[in-house]
Amino acid sequence: QLQLQESGPGLVKPSETLSLTCTVSGGSISSSDYYWGWIRQPPGKGLEWIGTIYYSGSTYYDPSLKSRVTISVDTSKNQFSLKLSSVTAADTAVYYCARGCGGCPFYWGQGTLVTVSS
């Protein structure tokens, strides 16, 4: 059974970098059949897809966040990570990691709340 688990600080100061890790169990992050992504949901709002990383290492980031986002994979640890720089209060959200592909079930982590505040 595939499981994804987000981890990282729950509180980040303005202007600093938000760093989260998603640990994957029950499946290999190196599989060419899937891609891996980060999603966020600000309090009381809808879902936003932040970015995607493919098995080849190529990435796609939402244009509104592109200048601040980096997604990377660590195959030795079966993990992938999100870094979001220069955060503001607008980046306060529940952050989810997910595995997907076209036409297959998506698997999500349970999410982690990150609050940006001094």
Partner 1 sequence: DVQMTQSPSSLSASVGDRVTITCRASQRISNYLNWYQQKAGKAPRLLIYAAARLQSWVPSRFSGSGSGTDFTLTISSLQPEDFATYYCQQSYGAPQTFGQGTRLEIK
Provide the binding-site residues for partner 1, judged by CB under 8 A: 35, 37, 46-52, 60-63, 94, 96, 100-111
Q: Which residues pair with 71 in a beta bridge?
A: 82
Closer residue to partner 1 (CB): 89 or 104: 104
Among 41, 13, 30, residue whose Cα is nearest residue 109 = 41
| HSE of 107, CA atoms in CB hemisphere, 13 A | 17
Quote the longest CA-to-CA distance of the chain.
42
Closer residue to partner 1 (CB): 29 or 71: 71
Closer residue to partner 1 (CB): 80 or 96: 96
Least distance from partner 1 to the Cβ atom of residue 74, Å? 21
Closer residue to partner 1 (CB): 35 or 80: 35
Report strand pairing: 11-12 vs 112-116. parallel
Least distance from partner 1 to the Cβ atom of residue 51, Å? 7
Least distance from partner 1 to the Cβ atom of residue 4, Å? 10
3-class SS at 91? helix
